Amino acid sequence: GTLVDRRSSVDSGFLYRRLKSHEKREMQKEILSILGLPHRPRPVHGLSPAQLNQPAKLNSAPLFMLDLYNAMSGQDQGMDLKDWSHRATLHSHQLKVKSLLGSHLGSVQDSAFLSDADMVMSFVNLVEHDKELSPRLWHHREFKFNLSQIPEGEAVTAAEFRIYKDCVLGSFENQTFLISIYQVLAEHRNRETNIFLLDTQTVWASDEGWLEFDITATSNLWVMNPRHNFGLQLKVETKDGRNVNTKAAGFVGRDGPYDKQPFMVAFFKASEVHLRTTR
């Protein structure tokens, strides 16, 4: 039943039979090989039939990717990733801040930057608990992503960290926040973490939507040296330099809705020709 010929068997001159279980396993292996996968992935948080029918139960990362996929389905298969990302930008309810992908598309139409990409990958945040519960890190929030299992030969061409910000008013009315994203260089037990500033953005407290930070260089480093991957830190300050708790500033964390969880997305390009191994 795996391979279904829609034409009648008489018409095509073949007689069809159901595959035996070992044949089915062999067939699965061959299809995985065509897809360039060494084995069948076993995701910890895979999809249940209920989730498939109710996209609202999906996490933000698969939802974003599904949005990309749906945007291009129905279109010509020749559509490249430049179009995908453009559509994703349109669908993502982003803030007024220019995103890496958006600004590239807006300014350089013929840029080979994204059209060269052949794979897009989203990564879920692996930090289980927001560290802002700890008094020392009250104004920071940490994020970690596993980039150790990138298919061989794929190089990062662009990467973004995406985090959702809710509207906050009250004491912050008419205020702006300076959002800074840092790469964690080293972690120490008894002293401050070594961090490196990657990007900053200024938003209104009343702003609501996805914020996007360019982390291309950092992602490249993490792919090359997974041991140097200590994650990212996010810090929020008021205009006059006062630290603000990220949750109080409206940033959605682990305890927030599924579809507003922070994640990162990366665009890849195959850097070498893949040769299938002899089986």
Binding site for another protein (CB under 8 A): 1-7, 12-14, 24, 28, 31, 34-36, 40-49, 52, 61-62, 65-66, 68-70, 72-73, 77-78, 81, 84, 118-124, 145-146, 149
Alpha-carbon distance of 62 to 123, in angstroms, equals 9
Alpha-carbon distance of 157 to 269, in angstroms, equals 7
Structure token digits, residue 218: 């950092």
Nearer to another protein, 161 or 177 (CB): 161
Nearer to another protein, 74 or 170 (CB): 74
Identity of residue 46: G
Query: DSSP label at 26?
Result: H
Structure token digits, residue 234: 């996010």
Nearer to another protein, 42 or 136 (CB): 42
Nearer to another protein, 116 or 208 (CB): 116
In angstroms, what is the minimal distance from the CB of 145 to another protein? 8
Nearer to another protein, 91 or 98 (CB): 91
Query: DSSP label at 189?
Result: S
Q: What's the angle, vertex CA 277, arms to CA 272 and CA 278, rounded to 5?
A: 150
CB 235 within 8 Å of CB 32? no
Nearer to another protein, 10 or 133 (CB): 10
In angstroms, what is the minimal distance from the CB of 197 to another protein? 26
DSSP reduced 3-state for 100: helix
Cα 209 to Cα 71, 151, 226, 248, 279, distances in angstroms: 20, 31, 31, 15, 49
Nearer to another protein, 83 or 208 (CB): 83
- Tokens 């692996």 sit on residue: 126
In angstroms, what is the minimal distance from the CB of 232 to another protein? 16
Q: How many residues in total does the chain contain?
A: 279
The string over 106-117, giving b where at least 16 C-beta atoms fall within 10 Å of a residue's C-beta and e elsewhere, is eeeeeeebbeeb
In angstroms, what is the minimal distance from the CB of 44 to another protein? 5
In angstroms, what is the minimal distance from the CB of 276 to another protein? 13
In angstroms, what is the minimal distance from the CB of 131 to another protein? 21
CB 254 within 8 Å of CB 163? no
DSSP reduced 3-state for 202: strand
In angstroms, what is the minimal distance from the CB of 167 to another protein? 28
Nearer to another protein, 45 or 188 (CB): 45
In angstroms, what is the minimal distance from the CB of 140 to another protein? 24
